[in-house]
Each structure stands twice: as C-alpha cells, then as structure tokens.
Amino acid sequence: MTSLLAVLIDGSIYASWLFLVAAGLTVIYGVMRILNMAHGSFYAIGAYSAASLVGWYFNNGMGPAWVSYLLLVGAALVAGLIVGVIVERGLLRLMYGRDEILMVIITYALLLILEDGMKIVWGVSPYFAYQPYSELGRTSLGLLKVSNYDVALVGVSALLGLGLWAWLERTNQGKVLRAVIHDREIAVAMGVNVKLMFTITFVLGTTLGALAGALTAPAISVVPGIGIEVIVLAFAVVVIGGLGSIGGAAVGALLVGLSRAAAVHYAPEFELFVIYGVMSLVLAFRPEGLFGRTLVRKI
C-alpha cells in the first residue's frame, strides 16, 4: 500500500517537473514548427540564473526567506526574456521558412554554443540555491516523507498548465495563436502579424524553459550538462503527447512520470527503458502521439 501511494506521489511530482520542462517546447513547436534542441540550454540558463541570484541573496545578509521564491521566478523571467529575444531576433528570424529538420540542426548548433557560453559565464563549479527547498520542510505520511517544495511544484505546474490553456482558449491573443497553429497560411491571409506572434511564442517558450530550470534549481546541484539531460526527456514527453499540444504534454508527462515511478518501485531493472518504451508503444499505436492531429495533405 505504502509503495502504491509512493508511486502516485513520486509519479505526480516527477510528472509535474516533466510538464514544466516540456510545456515551453510544445508551445514553440505548435506555433513555429521548431523542435528546439536548445530548450535544455534555456532550462540550464534559468537554473544558473536562479541559483546564482538566490545564492547571492542568502550569502549577503539574510533577508526574509519568502523573497527568495520571488527571486527564483524573477531570475527565470528575466533570463528567459533576454535570451529568448536575442535568439529569436538575432538568429531564428534569419532562418524562418527553412526545412523543419534544418531548424532542429540550427537549434543543435545553438545548444553547442550556449553550453560553452554558460561555462564562460558561470564556470564549472556547482551552484546551489537550496534554501527555498529546505525552507518549506516536509510532510510525513508514515514511512514516506515528502518534501513540501515538491508538492508545491505539483501545484505550480498544474496552475501553469491551466494558465496556458486559459490563455490559449480564452483570450484574443490565444485565439490568434491558435489560428496560427491551425493554419499558418490562412492566419497570414487574415492579417495576423505572424512575425510578432513568433517572437511572443518563442520568448514565452524560452521563459517557460528557464522557469522550469529555476524551479528545479533549489533541489539540485546546478552544474554543466544539466540541460543536455532534459532535452531527450522533454522531447519524449512532447512526442508522446502529440507535438504542439499542451494537454498532450500534460498527459505525456503523467504517463512517463507514473510509469517511471512504478518501475523504480516494482521493477528497477526496467527504469532505464521506461521512457523509450512508453514512447515506442504510444507511437506504434498512435503515430502522431496521443493528441497529435493527423494531417492529410490536400491534393
């Protein structure tokens, strides 16, 4: 019983983290048709920004702890915004209209550049921002002790998902964006400023990536290479859910999160294969992912 409860709790926590990481990726793909390999780097930049800012805050005269949560989010927003605008305006804008796969490679080049760029800015020593993580304490459920920060993360992730959904479904800007997702040519014909929508979307995506990194930073040691590790995970979640679908990313994250937690508790030897196994299975039966749209070419 305890382990079933543990699977549910661990699975949801992991799923909420996966969703945070994958949301930005799927938004960018949905609107811009760019599968962004550098998404992991934005995650890492968010983590580094947050960890260095929060670390600095606590090392220099302890203010109230709650400020550090604002700093976490603030660091991510600023970092995501700056990097997003620079990359979109400075690089991607030159490349629009190129082949989808070529865009993957371009972002791969960006990844190589950003990984070393971060090393130049932050070095290779670990950064920590553990105070926000340990500050919230933990809750005991029998043998199982759960970090409150992790539980809060589930809430944040759910709120973020709902917020994104509401923004897409309930606001005018969201409607325009959906039009672009649905049919770019018609959207252009209707007078949508696609260029502007691209900038907004890309910056939103990078900011989400940076936010995921910033919210993860307190629980980990921020070191070189953390971004590389999340890319394939995020890709898998997004592909499982259906590229470009927010709801799909949420379901994909839950599926992977729960499967992984179950494997850790019941069949640890399969843990390494879970994510690829789930992805292969889903794609074998639903080639476009769970919520992907099958597009029949008009002839």
Partner 1 sequence: MRLDKTEISLGLVALACVLFGFVSPGWLIFLLTIALAKALVVQGVVMQMRSGLVSFGQGLFYCIGGYTVGMGGQFFGIHDAIAALSLGMFVAIVIAMLLGLLLTRYREIFFAMLSLAFSMILFGILVKSQELGSTDGFNVHDWTLFGWAPEAGAGSQHTVFTMTVVAGLIVAVLLHRYTKAGVGVICEAVRENEVRVEYLGLSPRWLLYGNYVAAAAVSALGGGLTALATGHVDPEMAYWTTSGEFVFIALLGGLGHVAAPFIAAIVFSFVRTYAIEFVPHTWQMILGFTLLAVIIFLPKGLWSLVSREKTGERA
Partner 2 sequence: MKNNKSKFSKYLVSGVAALALAAGAAGSASAAENGKFRVGIVTFLSGPAAGPFGVPSANAAKVLVDELNKGNLPAPYDKVGINGLEIEAVVIDEAGGATKQVEEYRNLVQRQKVDAVIGYVSSGDCLAIAPVAEELKTFTIAYDCGTPRLFADNPDAAYMFRTGLDASVDNIGAVRYLAATRPDVTRLAGIQQNYSWGQDSWADFTAAASALMPEAEVVEEQFPKIYQGQYGAEISALSVKRPEVVHSSFWGGDMEALVLQANARGLLEDATGLLTCGEASFATYKDQAPNGMIIGARGPFGQFAPDNELNTWFEGVYQNAYDLEPVYPATKMAQAILGLKYAAENAGVGDKEIASAEQLAAAMKGATFESVSGTVEMARANGHQAMQGITYGEYHYEDGVASIKNAVSFAGECVTPPEGVAAADWIADGFPGAQCN
Chain residues in the site for partner 2 (CB under 8 A) = 2-3, 6-7, 9-11, 13-14, 17, 115-116, 119, 123-126, 128, 130, 133-134, 138, 140, 143-147, 149-150, 216, 219-226, 228-229, 260-261, 264-265, 268-269, 271-272
Beta carbon of residue 132, minimum distance to partner 1 (angstroms, whole number): 31
Nearer to partner 1, 135 or 271 (CB): 271
150 within 8 A of 15, measured Cβ to Cβ: no
Among 1, 94, 143, 189, binds partner 1 (CB under 8 A): 94
* Least distance (Å) between residue 101 CB and partner 1: 5
User: By C-alpha distance, which of 3, 22, 84 is closest to 236?
Assistant: 22
CB 148 within 8 A of CB 155: no
Coil, strand, or helix at residue 222?
strand
Pick the binder of partner 1 from 6, 106, 226, 234 (CB under 8 A): 106
Q: How far is CA 179 from CA 74, 95, 192, in A?
A: 31, 22, 9
Give the span between the Cα atoms of 141 and 296, in whole angstroms: 51
Q: Answer whether 167's CB lies under 8 Å from 178's CB.
A: no
Beta strands in 108-235 (DSSP E): 138-141, 144-147
Give the nearest distance from C-beta 252 to partner 2 in angstroms: 17
CB of 161 to partner 2, least distance (A): 19
User: CA angle 237-241-243, nearest 5°?
Assistant: 90
| Residue 109 binds partner 1, judged by CB under 8 A | yes
Enumerate binding residues for partner 1 (CB under 8 A). Answer: 35, 91, 94-95, 100-102, 104-106, 108-113, 115-117, 119-120, 228, 232, 235-236, 239, 243, 269, 272-273, 276-277, 279-280, 283-284, 287-289, 297, 299
